[in-house]
Structure 1
Amino acid sequence: MEAKARAYVNDILKRVKEVNNGEIEFIDAVTEVLNSLVPVFEKHPEFIDAALLERIVEPDRQIIFRVPWMNDNGEVKVNRGFRVQFNNAIGPYKGGLRFHPSVNLSIIKFLGFEQIFKNSLTGLPIGGGKGGSDFDPKGKTNNEIMRFCQSFMAELNMHIGPNIDVPAGDIGVGAREIGYLYGYYKKLRNASEQGVLTGKGLTFGGSLARTEATGYGLVYFTDEMLKDNNISFKGKKVVISGSGNVAIYAAQKAIELGAKVIALSDSNGYIYDETGINLGAIKEIKEVNRGRIKDYLNYVPSAKYEEGCREIWKIKCDVALPCATQGEINSESAKILVNNGVKAVAEGANMPSTLEAIDIFQNNNVLFAPAKASNAGGVACSALEMSQNSLRLSWTFKEVDEKLKNIMKEIYNNAKNSAKQFGNPGNIVMGANIAGFMKVAEAMMYQGII
């Protein structure tokens, strides 16, 4: 049966590469998941007969559209918009919108595919999807961003709804953009459907703790993984890439647990402060001034700044939390981290470690937490926001944070138990993939060939 299961997976991977030629990010994401699932198909040959993989690697629909908008100089600009609705077997499509020049169909598909299993792992009834645009909000005025968001929503509104597809924020899409998107959706639909978008402002249906959720959730998950291996955050040196919401609030929670965060980065470079990062300074630079990470030297002149954000992984640390973007830790960076004695790597961004890097960590007994499990706190809190919108209630920060902590603990335990059940104890990558897949697979089996 093992040979049949492996042949089935290999056949699907071959087809995915042929049909999605050149979509490197998507192919890598599918490869990483499917290779983990061979033991599942050994035990469940009925999944092969039902062509589950053939169906799950093909999105339900891929929507690509033109987004024309006018800048402040009266010039017409045109960007491309995307929404990939991947799988809704367990609930409405759910996944963020990314506004960044690098956005293309491959990236949106890879993110949407990952979202299927990440959302499943939360235990909440949400399916997988993703969207965005190659629009770059950097350097744009508020009015330009508003006009773009309104044009983007003019098309997107036809494909989303509280029980259909619920977008949220991602890179380049924060509370400002979500506000503009929701305002225009409400005008177009003449309906106050707060549950259609998450990450909203607190005055119109947003949830307390949503801003902190991904970063906090990352540390809650990592803490469970460390404790399970008789390690504590206390006294550990932590390097975190990025300086957005995920990185900032991961740093905050890690510091609360006794760690010393010594480095953060942005797209230009990184700062290193051996005495421990002054998080108040970082928040002022990034959340108030929308500045660059090198401005940290104005607050702490003794710190060091280096150009080149990927160079951050040369800093010796006990725990590495990549929270910037996909593919930021390659095999070379992974080898450096291993040689420097890193004990754990937990992903806060979406697939920030390449497949080669993951192999290096696992082959060298580094504790490794994959993004679909460790950064699921953001979408978990988004689903909690949806629940509050449905109930027309607002929970306290403490209530949401406690629910988030319990969800992340449960994700870790499910991933751990699944890895053990399918013959690879301690492999959280495999366990997370299997735990996420099984719930979706069972739902698909019950619902027939659709």
Structure 2
Amino acid sequence: MEVPGIPGRKGASGPKGVKGNRGKMGLKGHKGKQGDPGIEGSIGQPGLKGENGFKGEKGEVGLIGAKGVAGAPGKNGTDGQKGKIGRIGAPGCKGDPGDKGPEGHAGEAGDPGPPGESKRAHAKVSVVVVTDGRFDPADDDSLLRYLCNYPGVEVNAIGVGDMFDKKHDSETLVSVACNNKNRITEMKQYADLVAESFIERLETVLCPDPVIKCPDLPCKSELDVAPCVGRPVDLVFLLDGSERLGTENFNHFRSFVQQVASTLVMAKTRNDQNWARLALVEFGKENENEVAFPLTHDSNVISTGLSRLTYLDSSSSTGPAILHAIDNIMGKGNTRKTRRGAEVSFVFVTDGITNTSSLDKAVSAMRREQITSTVIATGNDVDQQVLTKLALESQEAIFKAPKFSDLLESSLFGRFIRWIC
């Protein structure tokens, strides 16, 4: 029986075998982690210019800017427009005595008469002091009341702000007016001194009970002239129909024009050489002009035109509207629509906030055509420079009111009627 022997030692490694056949493709591995960001590349070339976007909505009206530094005094302005024809005066007093007649026989001596007195013995003395109320502090302030020490002297004080719009000193005015606040009048500018309303009030204060006396002749009361009687007046209203006007003011304006037409003495026929005719143009942006009615004397045409007129609610461009009215409402040459010798008057209803690109050209055209001008402005947010330009530099031709409905009140409306006629 054979028994296995003890294993021999491990032999040396054999040579490397031949490369085996390619194995089968393994399964797809799992997604690896995200790599770190690469190095930042260079800035690329600018892209093509895009198309224009849609026009944005109109922004809100900005706040009023701060007052600028006072400018240097300007040059003398051009001559103002011709004033209105005044009322016919009262009949004159008795004329000078005629030639002396033959001397008559002497009569019997009469009884002695009572002692005479001066014609001015009971005259009332009124003093009007116009001042801003400021004075040198070194002066004696007790002199402010100097005139108050004279019996029969009535002192009235008018306080006016200075050229820098600084308000007058009210305390000084009280002293000047002898502590009577009813005799103090306050104003913002010196131009207000020539306003018709102020002059009428001053006449009432200085002469509350006027008496007209003529020697040996009973005087008659002053004659009153009806508006636009005895002369032709062609009145053209130009309404600023911008969005700043508003529907309520637009309706008030239509009532205002209707009341003007009812108050004035209108021409009897188309070619009547006396009395008034009216026209109305509502304007918005450039070349947007709506003629409510051309120059007419017919109240039915005026009423129909006002009822059909719609509110433009647009932007404002006054210059082109003026040129349109001159060319189309007034006409030129053979197509002239105003009457021969008529006073042509433009009445602007605007706050003056408008496109002024062609305004100077239009105002020059008004001067060439000898057009008189009146401006109606309401509210506090106005462009005074434009209003003055439209009024042909005449502050008296600018009518202002806090709101449009005030124009229908009797006092302001009456002033307007007297001004235009």
Which TM-score tier does this pair reach, normalised by the shorter chain? under 0.3
**Higher share in helix:** 1
Structure with greater Cα Rg: 2
Q: TM (normalized to structure 2)?
A: 0.28
Q: Structure 1 length as normaliser, TM-score? A: 0.27
Which structure has more RCO (C-alpha within 8 Å, separation ≥ 6)?
A: 1
